[in-house]
Every structure is written in structure tokens, then in C-alpha cells.
A and B are shown apart, each in its own frame.
Chain A
Amino acid sequence: MGHPSNGSVENVFEDLKYGIIDIAGFGNIYSGCQMANLDAAWPEGVGVRIIDNVGKITVRNCDMEEVRCGVFGNNHRALDLFSNDIEALNYGINLYEGKRNVRIEDNVIAADDCIFIAASNNGNFPIDIKSNSLTPRSHGIYTGHINGKLNIEEANTIYMDHEPGAAHGIFGLLNSVPVVIKNTDLSFTDPDAAANTGITIMDCKNGQVVENTISGSSSNPYNLGLGIVGFNSPNYLYCCNELDDSQVGESFILMCNDNKIANTVFDDHYTALYLSHAVISPQINTGNDWTGATTTEDARYEGDFVLIPASLFEIDDDLVPSGHSKIFVPSGALPEDWFIFEGTDPICEDWTDEDEYCGKDPYFLVEDPNEFTALTSTDLAAIDPPQGSDTSAVLN
């Protein structure tokens, strides 16, 4: 339907391959439609398929059940998708190769992948994902290869109750733009689930993960494998996140240089903070908090001990009640080489300076994000190893 200001209101679509296909449309509004039993094999079975629109398309207040995919946008421009209720077999909302701004707000979605956005080239036109209630079986929100502004914030709620596991609340892959993930409430409710991850940031750079709450099942605290994972993702801010009931609270792997890990609140974990062959850059009085934590390991560094100074934690000892007794480092280093107890740490509310305020500046600490890269092996070779540590005080 390629036409200005068309209205499709309160129509019922059942037992079809597609409900609506909109090609090259602009200004069209699909409101109050009911779609059911559109379960043809993907990529068919779509409630509203939008292709090459030249103006904004709106899908609102629609109720979709037993659809393969609720809304599928391809090579799309502006989209406004809000207040829809989607029960999909594969995708709730799948957007591919978008070019303009998108609002996804106040939707209730249950699907394998509730919101799936890939290969977007939206530049300065933001994708805003706000206040959605998601129950995924695989990914709550998947974002991959995004080249444009992406904001996942303002109270998205993700319920992970899928038993087989290996599911992700939010998964970011190869995003090189200032993605903001803020104020998400992520809960893993099925005590039999396992190997799930709350927020995964993989091969991304220049983003923020702030003020999120991630919790596993209290009856099986470790059904959530990992709360937050940063994998090979430099220049990320992780600030004021609250983590509870997971095998590992927060984990960083490989080159995560110039990350800032601030005011994380750890609760019940086997290992609260886990670094694997990681470089995250020194964390000097950034206010991470183990005071209420119940852990076997407050922190563990896995990898070559010579890299530890590049991930130093300088912290007020009041925030780590167990001291060095639950800090584990590889052979050749001491816990004291990694955690140095001195200074005073801020609380979340203290982040008021504009340059460092938690979650305020998407380009935090970097003036030109385009020039920012992960450390190289040459950079790593220049790191001074820990001084005075030649014994294996704590073994892996």
C-alpha cells in the first residue's frame, strides 16, 4: 500500500501468509488490527511487512497471535510501532537494513526474538526502544551491525522464563555507535533455566550499560549464568547496574580497554566479577560495591598475570568486606596486585560532573569515538607486569 495517510482500522486477518504487505508507502496507519494464525514458514507468516517505505508507517494497538513474525521491516525508513500485543513464533519485531528513525514503545511481545534489529544504517536518526514488556525464548532485544543511534532505555522489562537456556536478555553485536542500554529490568524467572545471559556486548565499542537491574531466580540463584558480559568491546561505560542471583555477576573478556566499571552492586553470585584474558583499563575509585554480596569469589582474573595492571582496581576497602580473601588471580600475581584498597569511592548519586556523569555522555572519555580502537598486541607488550610478585599465592 504505497499511499499517503491510508488508514486500516480494526480489521481481522486470519489464516493467511501475510496480514498486510506495505511497499513504498508513506503515512499509512495500521491500527487496532487483529491478526491470528499467520504461521507460514519464515519469511512468510508476517503480520505487517513493510518494505522500502518512503514516509513514516505506523502500526499501533494491533493484536497478533500465532504469527511467524509480528512486524517485519526491510530497507525501511521511519517507523512508529507502539502499543501492540504480539505473540510470535519467531520474531516479534524484525527490522533489517533500516535507514531512518524508529520508535518501538509500549509493546508486549512474546517470541523467540522479541525485538531483532540488524544491519541498520540509520545514522543520526535514532532507534528508540522504550517501555516494552518482553518475554523471549532466545533474545529479548538483539541488535547487530547497527550504524546509527540506538537507545534502549526508559523501563524496558524483560522476563526470561524459558527453560532450555542459552537465552540473552539484550545482545549487542558489532555495534560501533553509542548504543545506550539504560534502566532495563531483566529477570530470569524459571529456576530450571541455565546458561542464560542478561546483557551481552560483543565486539562493540562506544556504548553505555547503565542503571539496569538483572536478577536470576532466587530459588535457583545460578539459573542465570552471566549477568553482564563485555566481550572484546572497548570504550564502554557500565554504571550503576544491580546484579543478583547469577553464576557470574559481571564478566569481561579480551580487549575491553577504556571500559569504566562503576557502581556495580553485586549480590548473590558464585563469582561476582570475572575477567578472562581481559584488559578493561584501571578502575580508580569507581564505587563498585560488594558490601551486600554473597559470593564464593568476589573477583577472579583468568589469564596472563602480566596483564593485571591494565585492569587494576583501586577501591575503598569498605566496599569489599572480605578484603583480598575472595580475590583470585593467576600464578605469578597476588590479589594485592589487582585490588588496591585506598581512596574514597563515589556512590551513583555522586556522578554529577558532566564529563563523568553515569549515563550522560555517550562518548564518555573519548572526544572522537571514530578514532577509538581496541588495544593491539604491541600495546599489551608495553604493560608493566606486577612488581614484587613472584609467587603463586593464589592458584586458579
Chain B
Amino acid sequence: MDPASSIEVNPNVKLTIKSQSVLHGCEYMWRGINLPGQARLEIDSSTVRDAHYAVRALHFSRIKLTASTFDANYIGVYIPPPTPPNVQNIVFRLNGSPNDIKDNYFGFLSAYLSPYSGQSPHPGSFRPMPGFS
């Protein structure tokens, strides 16, 4: 992925990443996979690396992450808190299963790539932030 690039999943679109796929930066970090609203994402048995937010899901989006690796991302999965509280803005439950994020690895196997121009917050040179937020 090019520096500061992203994958935008439009509303009512489902993106599936599977079969040992690897999404990663080269020299600089990239933005990650963004679901701005009412989109669906499934990642299975794949790797997402070197992103600012590997997955960023908003407003009634649905995600299912299984058996995948999230490595050296600033944040693995980022779902902003609802505003105001109690407003449902993300649906995790797919096919009635509560196990929407299962058997994944969130870690720091690789070193951070250099941040892309204007990346904020700057990831620093130390450990990534949370696996989930």
C-alpha cells in the first residue's frame, strides 16, 4: 500500500479479505481500511500490517474478523464510541454469532514503518496502541 493510502468501503458494500492475503505498507505507513458507514467487512486468515488504523468502522458498519494477524498497526481495530451513548452505530453480530472478532493476533511482530506525511497522532517509535479501541 502506498503512503497514506486507504481502502474505503462504501455504504452497502461488503469487502472480504481472505486466503492468506497480506495488506502492508512498504516504506511508510498507510491509513488502513475505513468503513465510513453501513458497510461490511470480513477478514479471515489474512494479515493487515503497517496501518494507522488497520480497521476503522463507523455508523452501522459490520465487521467480522477471524484467524487473522494485525501487526505493527497504530491501532488494530478502531470503533469510535457512540455519540451520544446508547446509540447503536456498529453492528458486530453477524449471522447471530457473538464471535465476530475471534482467534486473531494483535501485536508488534514488525517494527513500525515511518509515518506518512501528516499522520496524526504520530505513532511514535514505541509500541502500538491498543488492539481494539
Contact = CB atoms under 8 A, between A and B. Distances in A.
A7 B100 contact: yes
A46 B86 CA distance: 25
Contact of A19 (B81, B88, B102, B106): B106
A84 B85 CA distance: 28
A15 interface: yes
Given A2-B79, A3-B92, A16 B133 contact: no
Contacts of B43: none
B131 A19 contact: yes
Interface in B110-133: 126-133
A14 interface: yes
Contact of A11 (B89, B101, B133): B101
Interface residues of B, number: 33
Contacts of A380: none
B97 to A, nearest CB: 8
B107 A21 contact: no
B101 A16 contact: no
B130 A9 contact: no
Contacts of A22: 132
Nearest to B130: A18
Contacts of A9: 98-99, 101-103
B126 A14 contact: no
Interface in B78-100: 79-82, 85-86, 88-93, 97-100
Contact of B132 (A12, A15, A19): A19
A2 B127 contact: no
Nearest to A7: B98
Nearest to B69: A12
Contacts of B128: 15-17
Nearest to B79: A1
B104 interface: yes
A365 interface: no
Contacts of A15: 107-109, 127-128
A370 interface: no
Interface string A14-43: 111111111111100100000000001000
Contacts of A11: 101-106, 131
A13 interface: yes
A16 B107 contact: yes
B105 A14 contact: yes
Nearest to B68: A11
Contact of A17 (B93, B103, B109, B129): B129
A164 interface: no
B86 A26 contact: yes
B86 A19 contact: no
A6 B107 contact: no
A13 B126 contact: no
Contact of B130 (A3, A20, A52): A20
B102 A14 contact: no
Contacts of B131: 11, 13, 16, 18-20
A54 B85 CA distance: 7
A5 B93 CA distance: 8
Contacts of B82: 2-3, 24
5 contacts: A7-B99, A13-B106, A16-B127, A19-B132, A25-B81
Given A1-B90, A24-B81, 11 more contacts: A1-B79, A2-B80, A2-B81, A7-B93, A7-B100, A12-B106, A16-B107, A21-B129, A26-B86, A29-B98, A49-B130
